[in-house]
Structure 1
Amino acid sequence: MYDFIDAIPAAGSIINALAIIVGSMIGLIIQRRLPERITMVAFQVIGLFVLALGMQMTFQGKNILVVILSLLVGTIIGEWIELEEKLQNGLKKMRTRMIERGFQFGGDHLVEGFLTAFLLFCMGSMAILGAFEEGVGKPPNLLLVKSMMDFVSSIALASTLGIGVLFSAIPLFIYQGGLTLGAFCLNGFISDIMIDEITAVGGIMLLGLAFSILNLKQFKVFNMIPSLLLVVVFSLFL
């Protein structure tokens, strides 16, 4: 299966976008008939899988000092500049302004569904980590897991917010595909050891995300994003 996927550029983002499109179509068909307990159980299973995947990635790190420093300093920077809060507030304000202007689609909240889905699907750490993973030549495991999560989410969102959720697949593909291309261009400057440290940092971020999905402890995982840049710097000097 991976041989087929590897032959297609940005295959992970393509699969992710298709998952959202199919999930949204199902959500539009069932129109709020999806039992909440089914969605909850599906998220719990995916949360456990993300937890296991995060643990596996974490153990790939070779230099514990690089991993700890990157996470500590990167998270402090992200928290200091309130990265996650500013990002979410900005998108929410944009969504509110466009809704107030009456953008609708046949009685359906097109923009509301579009922006809500964009915030959920594109602004998480898995989008960045997954695109980066594929860009450096690894199988798109994270994007495949994210596709399952987004498939479930798009069913629930589309059944409530309508067709705008389906259209969010377009910016998702552009966003993640762009990250994959950027990672591919920098691949020649990234060593195998550096990739291991980046993977370990990403694994710990996934552990935080898994705890959030399982409602065990809420982490502002997006504030940890600067760690992915710092791990490259620290890997060069430590």
Structure 2
Amino acid sequence: MPIGPIINGLAIILGGFLGAFFQNKIPNRLCKVMPLTFGVASMGMGVNSIIKIDSLPPVILSLLIGSAIGEIIKLEKGIEWCVNKIRTPTEWFFFKDRSSNVNEDVMEKFIAIVVLFCTSGTGIFGALNEGITGEASLLISKAFLDLFTAAIFATTLGYLVMTIAIPQFLVMITLFFSAGTILPLTEPYMINDFSAVGGLIMLATGFRISGIKSFPIGNMLPALIIAMPISKLFAILFS
């Protein structure tokens, strides 16, 4: 029973609903300051993952090739298209949420938090760990953070934040059920390099959430898929 992914998804739905429903009652200064805090937290999680790196070349190569693939297939544009498709029924269901008009600034923040929620090292490792050991405490702890993060972002992005629970749940449930197949094929150095690639993307996500630099983090996501194979290939060729 995937308890962690379910609780994590419900936390985003609840946080997104409460944040959008009570958006006029939450102080503006809190809504402005907290995203900066979340950005710094994302950077911190990214640095924590980066320092686990085993070998720098495969990490850099994965990021370069993965970003090139994302740019070629226009992955971030695809995410934007999906956002616009789900926005209308979401607004209709929740009585026409006028705060969630999708302008450029809203799209920037939305894509950033999609990456933050769906590709965090804590979530990925937590889903794999629960799939192997049945221990859900890591994802349950993450759910508390996601609850408050979703609530704060929903004060500006509206009920749209609740829909992030869908891709996050799909990512986690896939990792949960594939853990028994994936982990036996990996080596510690492959997991470390994978974490480092995720850490770099999380670092870029923090810059984007904080409004410092708008990295194309959506287009960087394919790097996560190819990170472990490239790490393994590099070890075979140069060990």
Which bracket does the TM-score occupy, shorter chain normalised?
0.7 to 0.9
Question: 1:101-140 counterparts in 2 under 5 A?
Answer: 104-105=92-93, 108-109=95-96, 123-124=114-115, 126-130=117-121, 131-137=123-129
Is the aligned partner of 1:195 residue 2:191?
A: yes
TM-score by length of 2: 0.73
Matched residue, 2:200 = 204
Deviation per CA, 1:159-181, whole angstroms, max 9, x where unpaired?
8845x765764664345323333
Deviation of 1:123 (Å): 3.8
Structure 1 unpaired stretches of 5+: 1-7
CA distance in 2, matches of 1:81, 1:59: 30
CA distance in 1, matches of 2:148, 2:48: 24
Contact 1:211 1:218 in 2 (8 A): yes
Structure 2 unpaired stretches of 5+: 131-135, 235-239
Give structure 1 regions of 4+ aligned residues with deviation exceeding 6 angstroms: 138-143
Question: 1:38-57 counterparts in 2 under 5 A?
Answer: 38-57=30-49
Contact 1:208 1:219 in 2 (8 A): yes
Q: Which amino acid aligns with 2:19?
A: G
With a CA cutoff of 8 Å and minimum separation of 6, indicate the structure with the bigger relative contact order.
2
Deviation of 1:186 (Å): 1.1
Q: Percent identity?
A: 27
What is the CA RMSD across the aligned residues, in angstroms?
3.7
Q: Which amino acid aligns with 2:175?
A: L
Q: Which amino acid aligns with 2:95?
A: D
Q: Which amino acid aligns with 2:232?
A: L
CA distance in 2, matches of 1:23, 1:207: 24
Q: Which amino acid aligns with 1:30?
A: F
Deviation of 1:185 (Å): 3.1
Bigger drift between 204-213 and 39-48 goes to 39-48
TM-score by length of 1: 0.74
Deviation of 1:150 (Å): 5.3
CA distance in 1, matches of 2:22, 2:13: 15
Contact 1:32 1:159 in 2 (8 A): no
More helix by share: 2
Structure-2 change in CA distance of 1:205 and 1:23 (3 Å): same
SS in 2 for 1:136: helix
